[in-house]
Structure 1
Amino acid sequence: MKKRYTLLLSLSVLYANAQTSQYLKAVATKADAMQTQIVSWRRDFHEHPELGNREVRTSGIISKYLTSLGMEVKTGIATTGVVGILKGAKPGPVVALRADMDGLPVTERNNLPFKSTVTTEYNGQQVGVMHACGHDSHMAILMGVAKVLSDMKGDLHGTVKFIFQPAEEGAPAGEKGGAEQMVAEGVMQNPKVDVVFGLHINSQTEVGKITYRPGGTMAGVSDMRITVKGRSAHGAYPWSSVDPVVVSAQIINCLQSIVSRNVNITENPAVVTVGAIKGGTRFNIIPESVQMDGTLRYFTEVDHKLLTENVRRIAIKTAEAYGATAEVQIPYSNQYPVTFNDVALTQKILPTLQTTAGKNNVLLVPPVTGAEDFSFFQQKVPGIFFFLGGMPKGGNSLTAPSHHTPDFYIDESGFTLGVKALCNLTLDYMASSKKK
């Protein structure tokens, strides 16, 4: 049985490589010819970022372009989402390709000619807006893919659904949005999607490289809110209080023992982080309550349950020990599943990535504790999410500015590799499916 499996695996790899070589030159030529246009789109999006569910200008540019390519275009999905449908000349599967559109409430520090100077109101504060995670790159790359595959329509054995998604970073308070909402509004239907591919630029991976991982690739995430209630008093007479500040400090310290003492970190990583503490109004007044907001990260449902149960137990029992009470909400506003790359599909498409980028440039990496709502698409159909290098060659991954920071920077020379990868994945998947 083992020999038979090895033979079948070898034949599938050879077949995938043969299919890739069939289209490789045409895709490469078309993608390289679009480099200037892709960079131009990216810089325009970068200079004019919009927050989640506010991507009005952005979606307008995208929908107009997809329409110009002769696609059936749907707008207003999950508020500002855009979907373009490209029907190939021959029957076959439906392949979905996704890019996210929203920027972040970050003030840019880079001195670029296309630097963002946009400001807006977010959570009651005036903030800068910046594409500090690379979504501008994702959109420009997918628009390039749309052009290349439209030009190759006669070679398509199936349909391509281009999904431009709003609010990947989360919808504003009180609103719905993102991949979950697009799925709820039927984006994976009419026509029904068979497989979904997506990529994410990485500012700490050298340009020209692609990284991937089968199985759990990015963490599932639940936000949490812990509200500690005590008894207020004058700061000069703490014995009259049940101090929620002291109780909160003890809870935070105890929460750190969950990962270090309860999670088997040899199997899966996990994270418990408190990121915000709100309590009190004046230096000499012990407040009545303190609110803590944080995040849980996990790669299995077993660990998700373990983290949730331990946070509740520690917060409630620690507060009780000090005469206070604690209310725990997990999640309190959003929760993303684990971004899980279908293992069999990963094995199937790996030769395509290796042929496109060069085998030595396609790297298997550990799981990432960041989260992605691409996972909602993967709950419906098999999907692959991989990373595209965006750090200048020779850069230091330890010192390169990370995502979600004011100094976030991307080398634009790697964009065409992203175009080629998504095009070749689509063409190869269709070709392999028609032979079944």
Structure 2
Amino acid sequence: MDLTAKARLLGATLLLSSAGYALPAWATDAKQLALEIEPKVIQWRRDLHQHPELSNREFRTGKLIATHLRSLGLEVQTGVAHTGVVAMLRGGKPGPLIALRADMDALPVTEKVDLPFASKATDSYRGQSVGVMHACGHDTHVAMLMGVAENLVQLKDSLAGDVMFIFQPAEEGAPEGEEGGAELMLKQGLFAERKPQQVFGMHVTSSLPSGVIGVRAGPAMASEDSFTIEVTGRQTHGSRPWNGVDPIVASAQIINGVQTIISRQVDVTKAPAVVSFGAINGGIRSNIIPDRVELIGTIRSFDQQMRADIKLKLAEMSSLLAKSVGASATTEIHQGYPVLVNNPELVAQMKPVLASVVGDARLIEPGLITGAEDFAYYALEAPGMFFFLGVTPEGQDPKTAASNHSPEFYVDEAALRVGVEAMTKVAMTALGARP
């Protein structure tokens, strides 16, 4: 049966994308709406970029989002997980609920990019005055999802279901002593009344050329756990080490020995993992052996069972290695984000949709990313898909471009239209606005 006959049979008009996939007629509408709203998205992004706010302090950002969503006639809830905004769009036909998420917070980074809308903001972070910058692109995520919301409102009659828009604070981590982010939103009952059938998120990245989309099925981003190991010895004069117990030597044994957890004690053919030490704190003079050393570091993995095993082995090995030289070691694990797993069936369903936006050649499968993302919590509750949008300008090598979290992180705003179109099409496909 040819496409025209099939379209008549289904009561819809089908189009062929540049990638050769059969697309419903609304695909043209989504592309046109993305073009039309592009100036507003860029304006929102620049305003947000110029006025960044740290985690759990996104008060101005939340107010801007809520005002826009209310102007669209959506049901809006504010103050979720401190500063988050959640809005509901009711489709024109009955159907399931899906969720679209954007994160809102900036980083304690002083901007070095020469832009007319560069951030001059400062704030207090861990007791220090710091510059504040959207160095990870969350300003673009908010602006794009605001644009998607406006577009879907215009197309709502074709939606067989509802859309929950999640504007989430504190993805970069809540301040010390506070809760926040996706975990707190869920704890406060985000999905309690009605759980979405699918949840989607998008993140800009300098590691891809502008407008290229990357998505990977299965484990995509690592879990993240930090740890503190306190090594205790007995202080003595550096000239008479036999009169004490040297926690520095014990720490050296631990640092070297722990590396064998990855190289010898876990199945790295199943999934990669990393244990890294980030700081060693202990001692004050060249001729005093201290009584205590603190080691801090991070664990990254892509398998939940492997993650648990590494944490157990880290604590056990640290204690035994310290004991072998007469010291003691206590390990404290600070549990972070879980493994971000993209639902394979959902990714398979949406790949043709993403390809219709950028073409087959510009839809890639990225490698495993050892960075972490708290979108992973949503994907534990419902089938999820998290994809990446390249923002490094044409003519610049993404391999040498300033990375996310850099004070020189730069976004090619031409990519934002691509992100709006992609998320709009994903949402409409998920809600049956297709033959």
Aligned partner of 1:300: which letter? D
1:420 paired to 2:421: yes
C-alpha contact 2:210 2:412 (8 A) present in aligned 1: yes
Query: Deviation string for 1:349-397 (max 9, x for gaps)?
Result: 1111111221111111221111111011111110100101111123222
1:249 is displaced (CA, Å) by: 2.3
Deviations 1:247-299 (A, max 9, x none): 22221122222222233333311110111222234454332212122111111
1:152 and 2:155 correspond: yes
The match for 1:24 is: 27
- Are residues 33 and 207 of structure 1, via their aligned partners in 2, closer, same or farther at CA, if it must alter by over 3 Å? same
Which residue type is aligned with residue 391 of structure 1? Answer: T
Alpha carbons of 1:111 and 1:282: their partners in 2 closer, same or farther (altered >3 Å)? farther
Correspondence for 2:315? 312
Matched-pair contact (CA < 8 Å) for 2:261–2:313: yes
> Corresponding residue for 1:71?
74
Match of 1:190 among 190, 193, 200: 193
Tell me how far apart the structure 2 counterparts of residues 390 and 342 of structure 1 sit (CA, whole Å).
Answer: 25
CA–CA distance in 2 between the matches of 1:234 and 1:127? Answer: 40
RMSD (Å) for aligned C-alpha atoms: 1.9
Range moving further from structure 2, 277-286 or 385-394: 277-286
Alignment of 1:137 onto 2:140: yes
Residue 321 (structure 1) aligns with: 324
Matched position secondary structure for 1:378: helix
* 2:336 aligned residue: 335
Alignment of 1:382-397 (within 5 A): 382-397=383-398
CA distance in 1: counterparts of 2:288 and 2:110, whole angstroms: 34
2:85 aligned residue (82, 103, 109): 82
Which SS does the other structure have where 1:26 is aligned? Answer: helix
Secondary structure of the 1:385 match is: strand
Matched, 1:429 2:422: no
Q: Whole-Å Cα distance in 2 between the matches of residues 59 and 46 of structure 1?
A: 14
**1:346 maps to 2:333:** no
Cα distance, 1:22 vs structure 2 = 2.0
Count the aligned residue pairs. 419
Pick closer, same or farther for the CA change 1:95–1:66 going to 2, 3 Å: same
Is 1:231 matched with 2:234?
Answer: yes
- Equivalent residue number for residue 172 of structure 2: 169
Instruction: Rate the CA distance shift 1:243–1:362 in 2: closer, same or farther, 3 A.
Output: same
Deviations 1:146-202 (A, max 9, x none): 111111122221111100001111111111111011011111243431110001101
* Aligned residue runs from structure 1 range 29-428, under 5 A: 29-330=32-333, 332=334, 334-428=335-429
Contact 2:216 2:387 in 1 (8 A): yes
1:138 alignment partner AA: H
Q: Any idea what the Cα deviations from partners look like across 1:117-162, whole Å, max 9, x if unmatched?
A: 2222211222221111111111111011011111112222111110
Identity across aligned pairs (percent)? 46
What's the CA shift for 1:27?
0.9
The amino acid of 2:369's aligned partner reads V
1:82-102 deviation per Cα after TM superposition (whole angstroms, max 9, x unaligned): 001111121111110000011
Cα 1:20–1:95 shift into 2, 3 Å: farther
Q: CA shift at 1:308, angstroms?
A: 1.4
Q: Is the Cα–Cα contact under 8 Å of residues 16 and 349 in structure 1 kept in the other structure?
A: no
Give the partner amino acid of 1:115.
A
Structure 2 unaligned segments of length 5 or more: list them: 1-13
Counterpart of 2:201 in 1: which secondary structure? strand
Deviations 1:190-239 (A, max 9, x none): 34311100011011100121011100011112111111111123444433
The alpha carbon displacement at 1:25 in A equals 1.1
**Cross-structure match for 2:6:** none
Equivalent position SS for 2:381: coil
Q: Using the alignment, how far apart are the partners of 1:21 and 1:394 within structure 2?
A: 34
Higher mean C-alpha displacement, 111-120 vs 55-64 = 111-120
- TM (norm. structure 2) is 0.92
Deviation at 1:240, TM superposition (A): 2.9
Contact between 1:75 and 1:82, CA under 8 Å: does it hold in 2? yes
The one-letter amino acid paired with 1:104 is: L
| Alpha-carbon distance in structure 2 between the residues aligned to 1:210 and 1:367 | 15
- Whole-angstrom CA distance in 2 between matches of 1:21 and 1:207: 26
**Aligned partners of 2:109 and 2:132 also within 8 Å:** yes
Q: CA separation in 2, counterparts of 1:287 and 1:69?
A: 63
Which residue number in structure 2 is paired with residue 6 of structure 1?
A: none
Deviates further, 38-47 or 258-267: 258-267
Maintained 8 Å contact 1:210/1:357: yes
Is the Cα–Cα contact under 8 Å of residues 19 and 428 in structure 1 kept in the other structure?
Answer: no
Asked if the contact 1:221–1:295 (Cα under 8 Å) also holds between the matched residues in 2, the reply is: yes
Q: Measured at CA, do residues 164 and 16 of structure 1 come closer, stay the same or move farther in structure 2, by a change above 3 Å? A: farther
Contact 1:16–1:352 (CA<8 Å) still a contact in 2? no
2:3 maps to: none
Calculate the TM-score normalised by the size of structure 1.
Answer: 0.92
Question: What is the letter of the counterpart of residue 54 of structure 2?
Answer: L
| Distance across 1 between alignment mates of 2:46 and 2:30 | 23
Matched to 1:97, the amino acid is: L
1:3 corresponds to: none
Contact 1:209 1:361 in 2 (8 A): yes
CA contact (8 A) 1:24 1:356 kept: no
